[in-house]
Structure 1
């Protein structure tokens, strides 16, 4: 017989914070740059995304998720790709 007390909780409870996100329903292109975007266009788009994040009630959970899974793209938890990389450091490969 399976001892269910040791099983993890329902998966939806790990992700339900996303239902309260300020970005929910926003255009996802605001948070993820198109191929080749550079300069002022990149900075303006990212700043607009971060303005949404600034007032988000689940910003800490979003950032924790992005840092935990090392999300490589987009604005998550109010931080862009380079900012998250600066917090985490580069990926190192063991055994190479």
Structure 2
């Protein structure tokens, strides 16, 4: 664990859950679908939807990183931000499918 993750666990911003590669892969699949949706909407007059889809895809990718570590952001204010902060301690150039 990283120091920031330990602190976030102590502050109850994160919680420990069962590690689940299968869940992480399902979330990655969803993330990839959102990225494709964002690409489809990027050149339309609904660029707000493209941004929303891209944001959700990125957020889900971070959730997948945490799932592989047995962590989840708690549903408190700033949960999306907390997912991103926590995931940065684990992100390396890797593919969850390896």
Q: Output the TM-score relative to the length of structure 1.
A: 0.29
Where relative contact order (Cα < 8 A, 6+ residues apart) is larger, the structure is 2
Q: Output the TM-score relative to the length of structure 2.
A: 0.28
